[in-house]
Structure 1
Amino acid sequence: MIKKIALFVLSVFIVVSSAQAQSSLKRVEPLNWWVGMKHQDLQLLIYGEKIGHLYPTFSYEGVSLTKVVRTENPNYIFAYLSIGSQAKAGTMKVDLLDEKGVAQHSFAYELKERDAGSADREGFNTSDVMYLVTPDRFVNGDPTNDQIEGMREQSLDRTAGYKRHGGDIQGLEDSLDYIKDMGFTAIWLNPVLENDQPDASYHGYAATDFYKVDRRFGTNEHYRRFVKKAKKQGIKTIMDMILNHSGHKHWFVEDKPTKDWVNFGGSYVNTSHRRQANIDAYASDYDRKMFTDGWFVASMPDLNQRNELMSDYLIQNTIWWVEYADLSGIRMDTYPYPDKHFMTEWTCRLAEEYPSFNVVGEEWFNDPAIVSYWQRGKKNHDGYTSCLRSLMDFPIQEAFRDALKTDDKHWGQGLMKLYDKLVLDFQYPEPEELVVFPDNHDMDRIHTQMGEDADFTRMSLAYFATMRGVPQFYYGTEILMENSAKPGDHGLIRTDFPGGWAGDAVNAFTGKGLTAEQKKTQVYLKKLLQWRKNAKVIHTGDLMHFVPENGVYVFFRYMKSGEKVMVVLNKNDAETRLPLARYAEMLSGRIGVVDVISQEKQDLSQGVLLLDAKTTHIFEVQ
């Protein structure tokens, strides 16, 4: 009798005979592959009970078996294939033979044709604005997948910050018109892969299967369909990935192929979080190890990327998702925590396969000297190199927060904090590639950071939309979502988007129940981002700024063709008259300005501009 076991996608299936009661075949990963990739080598992870002694064999034109790696765990075979340029798309039959040459298991493995232009795909860039969404907290489009039988966490409780709330991919798909209408051109989703963990599985950062979308969000195919629909709306999709760790219930953590698969031998040792040890010329090996090999929490085992089998597995998994789902970018969580030499290999392999693709790394530190270490083109003191294009600009985020919260009357405080931080851009090889943002899913919402001052919050939206780099805004910022009741509480920071659930009293999609300030901010950001879509001077223009004076900070974005935008942050509580003499090198020969938001015009011949209180003005210079 022949039994067929599906492995999540139709392209992989396993055939097992009844005579093979002593062993079973459970997984083959990657789930499929493609012909015509730049790198021809492919690692097949073959997993099943007591299969490690078997030998894989096949006959397929253009494909050869280059090596077989066995481990101390008899449940694994790592088979390395070479897929030559002459190989064609199709399905190859792989037999696993015993010592007598008898096939004990067989499976079909599909090699697909790549989509046209896949290698030349365009990643996110400075013309884009990202919308960051925590899927479980955005829109519940399909209540039937709220709870899945057999999964470890069954509770669904919208009143509990760390329980699942039911948002899903269908809800995201249903919201594409809203996201497009707001002016966003890219969407970064917090992780959607399976997190079959006992609790707090909603956030997605403890994967239990690197090849499977969590069923409470949808399916692999549904995710791919969402990406395609978003692309048709002019919206790129950025996948949130984690190479540093998995969930402790991941199948290959519960049954490790090698003793060094997980750092510290699989025993929990907390990371020091001392990221400086990665860069410090005087750091001890002990301090480096405690940072990179330590775990975040006991439920997130730290993966050992120095293990070659692990390294190959993770690189292939990333490429698989880019190719399978047609991604336009990756946000890499905890970028400096994995082995840094592996991260170079990972970024460079991606860059070789997809030269125009983009990855943004999370290095949460307030000093550009630390953040810039990881960017491609940086000449580091220790010779370290990388192929990483973009990083999250935490230094500017922190500086902006402090600039508006501290008094400008004291030396180095207030707006000077923001000016001083931007001055350090010389440390980056490509500062224009950085992702700039007022807040994200791990920090207090910007409205809370601004003391729930709506004027200051709108000032932040304008600043980050016009500053060099790629802007990112967190869902709900457009309606002044806040977490002031519990600063620092992640469950509250990731509050449900109002209107995403049937029966919500407030609906941000329709405006029902929103306050006047919330509606004003939503309309403001929509107008700002719709303008930015066609503002090439913001996308690629040069930047010049002037030392802040009297609570006012001015910078220009300009192009050689003559286009100029003047951005003026007025922090003062009252209307302010701004003398223009010191800006002559930017304004000479110009006759006036038009406010992008209000469309009000001002004549430059008067030598002053009138600035509204607590406002970031964006002036097109005529």
Structure 2
Amino acid sequence: MKYFNLIIFCMSLISFGQIERVEPPNWWVGFSDHSLQLLIKGENIQNAEVEISNKHIELVKVNKADSPNYLFLDLIIKEDAIAGNFDIEFELPNGKNITHSYTLKSRDRLAEGYIGFNSSDVIYLITPDRFANGDIANDIVSGLRETSINRKNDYGRHGGDIQGMIDHIDYIHDMGFTSVWPTPLLMNDMTRSSYHGYAITDFYQVDPRFGTLDDYKQLAQKLQGKGMKLIMDQVANHCGSLHWWMSDLPFKDWVNYQSEYLNKEGLKVSNHRRTVNQDPYASGFDKELMSKGWFVNEMPDLNQRNPFLAKYIIQNSLWWIETLHLEGIRQDTYPYSYKEFMAEWAGAIMREYPNFNIVGEEWSTNPLLVGYWQQGANNKDGYKSNLKSTMDFPMQHTIVRALNEEEGWNSGLVNIYEGLANDFYYPDPQSILIFPDNHDMDRIFTQLHEDVTNTKMAVGLMLCMPRIPQVYYGTEILMQNTAKPGDHGLIRTDFPGGWEGDSKNAFTGKGLSAPQKEMQTFMKNLLNYRLNSEAIHEGKTVHFAPINGVYIMTRATDKETVIVIINKNENPSTLDLSPYSELNLDGQTLQNVVTNETVKWRNQLSLPNKGIYIFSSAK
């Protein structure tokens, strides 16, 4: 009999194990929202009695999940709480007690001090695996599913990491960029294509092949030491199919179409018809499949209608802002999530950090759809997003089309003129993100058929528009994917010089072609001028309908007028300045901000070459 009792005792020890996870892993005192919800993961933890003996911490409710291995604890961190540790006691049915020490930290920056990216910034977008390999020791990490490095495989890991970005902050800074947006750096323990980062398998852990949390913090600190900003790429819509919770989902509705997934009945993938968010005639079938369908088979769609998951995602964003001292978030696949939740998510962040900024990805060339998501939009359905910035796919598409088309009454540069006129619809055009390309699009040099002059015109115009510009790494050296249009692996080509032994080095200029050096210099000169130009940052915008293949846009304050001239004429031409008399520039000497050459603005202006001319009246 005693042996039987021993067996039962041993089984009870196995059945009631240790705490596996507590998330968020720590929190802070001093938030305006004093609530905190802890996810507790542990074998058969559901039936534990929970107690917190701390007068500054109130345990409001213990919530049981559908899985016996989870609890969700609702806490109130009282206003008089101080930083330090407090114990959470778990008394298990078998009599065993578990104590978990939880840490509350002091906030070392006022909430108002988190200043988000804005129109004075230019963002440098980086795919970290393809930028620079600063630490070869973390190239392969045992225990993870993808354990190879192959730079010849466009969809494999190449070894770029956080240290690689740290090593080249001076290059980014000296080019004139003010903010860095790396694509996701969190754990992506998938079997293939894990380099891109968007199939996250742990929302609180940095992927060790990119580095450590301390490395991530160092990146933030080094950028901030240069007066630069760090933007985090986050994903609220989905996770990776090998996320740790997929083997034991907390609730029956944690992910959408969960029963079909568990019963192997066939997954429902999103129809990707994002217009259902605005369409007054959209069917219920289309709406549900758009919002609930998985992005792809490897990316389970998170169900933000579940209040515990919703709270988890909001707290995760707040945790990363506070941990890294972020200045911005880029939220992936914005229209795919439950839109009422996205408004709640953005609102929770902006209430806590009133000067912060978030940009949401709405990949549409229709300005009506893009504008719908921006804070302040007068939407017929009453939707209020709390989102300050959206992505200007419409203007990006318009500029490419304008430069590729032949000039005509309804073609060419008139597209830019009419496209920018759509700003009447946006609540805050200056807060919208414009970009030549990104990690999911053909490189701008490829889109413009490898025409260097057209590429300069596109990039130069975007850097001067009433927008927040974002530039993908390598644009400054004319990186392209012309051999395989649409191929994401090739789009995300390695930045030359980021690996020891590279024959070319864009950081130093070694081995670059003359056009590449020319483009790099053009962008460096313009970006560095832009740093201190209030006219470009926040000036009044005036533009003129194209005349004879020339489009003019100006940005002006009381102290400076910046004139951007897009000239598509192949042969030397003379521009009659009489249509532009309202600019009050007659007789002034203007400086070309790229070449430093000066011209006199009087009667007519010589345009010797096709291209972009950017002049300033500043003395």
TM-score, structure 1 normalization: 0.95
1:41, 1:81 within 8 Å by CA — same for their partners in 2? yes
2:586, 2:601 within 8 Å by CA — same for their partners in 1? no
User: Residue type of the partner of 2:611?
Assistant: T
The alignment yields a C-alpha RMSD, in angstroms, of: 1.4
- Whether 2:58 is the aligned partner of 1:59: answer no
1:570, 1:612 within 8 Å by CA — same for their partners in 2? no
- What residue number does 1:269 align with? 268
2:577 to 564, 580, 588: 580
- What residue number does 2:403 align with? 404
User: Residue type of the partner of 1:297?
Assistant: V
User: Residue type of the partner of 1:135?
Assistant: P
Deviations 1:501-527 (A, max 9, x none): 010001111111100110111111111
- What residue number does 2:296 align with? 297
- What residue number does 2:203 align with? 210
- What residue number does 2:34 align with? 40
- What residue number does 1:12 align with? none
For 1:198 and 1:373, the matched residues in 2 are separated by 37
What SS does the aligned partner of 1:370 have? helix
Map 1:375-386 → 2, pairs under 5 A: 375-386=374-385
2:568, 2:610 within 8 Å by CA — same for their partners in 1? yes
User: Per-residue deviation at 1:613?
Assistant: 2.4
- What residue number does 2:562 align with? 565
- Whether 2:362 is the aligned partner of 1:363: answer yes
For 2:608 and 2:278, the matched residues in 1 are separated by 45
Map 1:183-582 → 2, pairs under 5 A: 183-265=176-258, 267=261, 268-409=267-408, 411-559=409-557, 561-582=558-579
Deviations 1:554-586 (A, max 9, x none): 011011x24211111112212221111111111
Deviations 1:413-439 (A, max 9, x none): 111111111111111100110011100
User: Residue type of the partner of 1:572?
Assistant: N
For 1:46 and 1:598, the matched residues in 2 are separated by 60
User: Per-residue deviation at 1:103?
Assistant: 4.8
Map 1:152-167 → 2, pairs under 5 A: 152-167=145-160
What SS does the aligned partner of 2:386 have? coil
- Whether 2:599 is the aligned partner of 1:602: answer yes
What SS does the aligned partner of 1:111 have? strand
User: Residue type of the partner of 1:533?
Assistant: L
User: Residue type of the partner of 1:499?
Assistant: G
- What residue number does 1:6 align with? none
User: Per-residue deviation at 1:612?
Assistant: 3.8
For 1:125 and 1:612, the matched residues in 2 are separated by 35
Percentage of pairs with the same residue: 48
What SS does the aligned partner of 1:365 have? coil
User: Residue type of the partner of 2:614?
Assistant: I
1:403, 1:417 within 8 Å by CA — same for their partners in 2? yes
Query: Alpha carbons of 1:342 and 1:590: their partners in 2 closer, same or farther (altered >3 Å)?
Result: farther
2:330, 2:359 within 8 Å by CA — same for their partners in 1? yes
For 2:11 and 2:113, the matched residues in 1 are separated by 47
2:16, 2:92 within 8 Å by CA — same for their partners in 1? no
2:116 to 113, 118, 123: 123
* More divergent stretch after superposition (170-179 vs 608-617): 608-617
1:437, 1:472 within 8 Å by CA — same for their partners in 2? yes
What SS does the aligned partner of 1:52 have? helix
User: Residue type of the partner of 2:583?
Assistant: M
1:63, 1:81 within 8 Å by CA — same for their partners in 2? yes
- What residue number does 1:7 align with? none
User: Per-residue deviation at 1:126?
Assistant: 0.9
User: Per-residue deviation at 1:55?
Assistant: 2.4
1:499, 1:509 within 8 Å by CA — same for their partners in 2? yes
1:118, 1:323 within 8 Å by CA — same for their partners in 2? no
User: Residue type of the partner of 1:582?
Assistant: P
User: Residue type of the partner of 2:150?
Assistant: D
Q: Structure 1: which 5+ runs fail to align?
A: 1-16
What SS does the aligned partner of 1:584 have? helix
For 1:108 and 1:285, the matched residues in 2 are separated by 47
For 2:49 and 2:401, the matched residues in 1 are separated by 62
What SS does the aligned partner of 1:321 have? helix
For 1:116 and 1:442, the matched residues in 2 are separated by 35
User: Residue type of the partner of 1:66?
Assistant: V
Deviations 1:196-240 (A, max 9, x none): 001000000000000001000001111011101111012110000
- What residue number does 2:79 align with? 85
For 1:311 and 1:530, the matched residues in 2 are separated by 42
Return structure 1 stretches of 4+ with deviation > 3 angstroms.
17-20
User: Per-residue deviation at 1:485?
Assistant: 0.4
User: Residue type of the partner of 2:400?
Assistant: R
1:569, 1:615 within 8 Å by CA — same for their partners in 2? yes
1:95, 1:104 within 8 Å by CA — same for their partners in 2? yes
What SS does the aligned partner of 1:272 have? coil
For 1:320 and 1:52, the matched residues in 2 are separated by 25
Q: Structure 2: which 5+ runs fail to align?
A: 1-9, 262-266
User: Per-residue deviation at 1:274?
Assistant: 0.6
- What residue number does 1:14 align with? none
For 1:602 and 1:511, the matched residues in 2 are separated by 31
For 1:612 and 1:197, the matched residues in 2 are separated by 54
2:39, 2:71 within 8 Å by CA — same for their partners in 1? yes
For 2:101 and 2:570, the matched residues in 1 are separated by 70
* More divergent stretch after superposition (47-56 vs 298-307): 47-56
For 1:95 and 1:368, the matched residues in 2 are separated by 54
Deviations 1:336-371 (A, max 9, x none): 110000000001000000000000110000011000
What SS does the aligned partner of 2:214 have? helix
Query: Alpha carbons of 1:612 and 1:329: their partners in 2 closer, same or farther (altered >3 Å)?
Result: farther
User: Residue type of the partner of 1:91?
Assistant: N
What SS does the aligned partner of 2:47 have? coil
1:129, 1:185 within 8 Å by CA — same for their partners in 2? yes
User: Per-residue deviation at 1:23?
Assistant: 2.2
Deviations 1:365-389 (A, max 9, x none): 0011000001111110101001100
- What residue number does 2:166 align with? 173
* More divergent stretch after superposition (102-111 vs 424-433): 102-111
1:459, 1:614 within 8 Å by CA — same for their partners in 2? no
User: Residue type of the partner of 2:536?
Assistant: I
2:45, 2:92 within 8 Å by CA — same for their partners in 1? no
What SS does the aligned partner of 2:470 have? strand
- What residue number does 1:136 align with? 129
For 1:178 and 1:583, the matched residues in 2 are separated by 39
User: Residue type of the partner of 1:76?
Assistant: Y
TM-score, structure 2 normalization: 0.95
User: Per-residue deviation at 1:98?
Assistant: 2.9
User: Residue type of the partner of 1:330?
Assistant: I
* More divergent stretch after superposition (199-208 vs 229-238): 229-238
1:590, 1:621 within 8 Å by CA — same for their partners in 2? no
* More divergent stretch after superposition (382-391 vs 53-62): 53-62
